[in-house]
A and B are shown apart, each in its own frame.
Chain A
């Protein structure tokens, strides 16, 4: 078990020993986009402990299966995988009814996005987009295709390691996280400025999915586990914020 972050994060929601504060020159786009002024502390208030509620109306039946939700002529190509995990708050409590949205490149390393110019084939049966809600235990499950690595123009011969983008909307304004899940043992990780923007080595490890043979389904798909811990969770939901 890792130590509590209570001291390092003081009374702030975001733990700044985990999240790098914006400017990270090896990731070139941060140079003109990273704020340079000091962030202004904002006391917890009603606006931050509330947030939109998500429910069944926000997801469709096949949204959590990226191998089936875009099929036109047949199955998508590539290595089928299952990704499961739980969304937890900083107190280790499950976050139920969190909206998870994922997007990723196909097995050839190509996004369906119109601005992706990588010379790799699109897959007519794969859009690489999915969503689901966590259950009462904060658990989620996606079935998808392992994404390929792809080049980007950040520096000479730059390649992004295989990754799946995760967007998490929890129960309130503070429980909001956008991150990327990586695969263990990927040789591109040590070369990637985005993965390496995270200042703390153990924090970086939390971006890696773990291969889980118990999740792997025989004759079907490899299984990975990726738990997500969002900010918040220092207070119970019933304290009075009208003070």
Chain B
């Protein structure tokens, strides 16, 4: 069947009133007992250009399992992916602009995907005042990131903005990742 090329529907802001629909209890917890891999907590703040916390942002993350596999037909190794890990989570920021996820450390991309690719978590941020969401990535400061082809193209400040900082706290590793929407320390956002 022939289908005509269709132009995209414009994005519009998520606004301030999405919580009752898009945010559910436990939506920011990606792990269950059977999930394989190192438990980690990713947390941080979303800040605006004045350094003011954004209390009405929504973050979505998408990541592979502990061996770097995505449970999706486009991943040739999907059948081996951890059945106890969906890889998708949502978290809203609280009144102080803070969010957190309980997840696992993602595995790196397959070697044939290209030498030196470091593990990462894909992130989308929606908020009142963002007409269209922003896309970024969380890399981990304690991984081997030097040869990563995406990080290597960024200036040092941009690279730093994508590195989650490891903090010891509680039963497992905590990684801090702040999203700075605007300003001199603005997080690197991608055109996907």
Contact = CB atoms under 8 A, between A and B. Distances in A.
Interface of A: 1-6, 12-16, 18-22, 24, 27, 29-37, 39-42, 44-53, 88-93, 101-103, 111-113, 115-116, 127-131, 165, 167, 172-174, 176-180, 194-195, 197-198, 202-204, 206-207, 227-231, 237-238, 240-243
A32 B52 contact: yes
20 contacts: A19-B131, A22-B132, A32-B129, A33-B128, A34-B130, A39-B189, A46-B75, A47-B62, A47-B122, A52-B72, A88-B3, A91-B3, A129-B20, A165-B17, A167-B18, A178-B11, A178-B12, A179-B10, A207-B9, A243-B113
A29 B128 contact: yes
B80 to A, nearest CB: 14
Interface of B: 3-22, 48-50, 52, 54, 56, 60, 62, 64, 70-76, 86-88, 109-110, 112-114, 120, 122, 124, 126-135, 150, 153-154, 158, 181-183, 186-192
A37 B4 CA distance: 35
Nearest to A47: B122
The binding surface of chain A is classed by DSSP as: loop
B142 to A, nearest CB: 20
A203 B128 contact: no
A6 B120 CA distance: 30
The 10 closest A-B pairs by CB, nearest first: A29-B129, A92-B3, A33-B129, A52-B88, A50-B72, A39-B191, A103-B21, A50-B70, A180-B12, A42-B190
Contacts of A231: 8
Contact of A35 (B12, B114, B181): B181
Given A92-B4, A131-B21, A179-B11, A35 B189 contact: yes
A152 to B, nearest CB: 9
The binding surface of chain B is classed by DSSP as: loop
A198 B18 CA distance: 21
Given A12-B191, A14-B192, A40-B154, 17 more contacts: A2-B6, A2-B7, A14-B191, A33-B54, A34-B182, A40-B190, A42-B190, A48-B122, A52-B72, A52-B88, A103-B22, A178-B11, A178-B14, A179-B11, A179-B12, A229-B9, A242-B113
B5 A5 contact: yes
A113 B9 contact: no
Contact of B191 (A40, A51, A203): A40
Nearest to B13: A194
B17 A113 contact: yes
B62 A36 contact: no
Contacts of A173: 62, 122, 192
A165 B86 CA distance: 26
A229 B190 contact: no
Query: Which of A50, A91, A102 has the most B CB atoms < 10 Å from its CB?
Result: A50
A14 B124 CA distance: 14
A150 B181 CA distance: 28
Nearest to A30: B129
Contact of A39 (B153, B154, B190): B190
B120 A49 contact: no
A116 B17 contact: yes
Given A4-B5, A34-B130, A167 B21 contact: yes
Contacts of B74: 46, 49-50, 172, 237-238, 241
A12 B192 contact: yes
A128 to B, nearest CB: 8
Contacts of A51: 62, 72, 88
A19 B7 CA distance: 11
A44 B150 CA distance: 12
Given A42-B191, A203-B7, A19 B132 contact: yes
Given A13-B192, A34-B129, A113 B7 contact: no
Contact of A5 (B8, B64, B192): B8
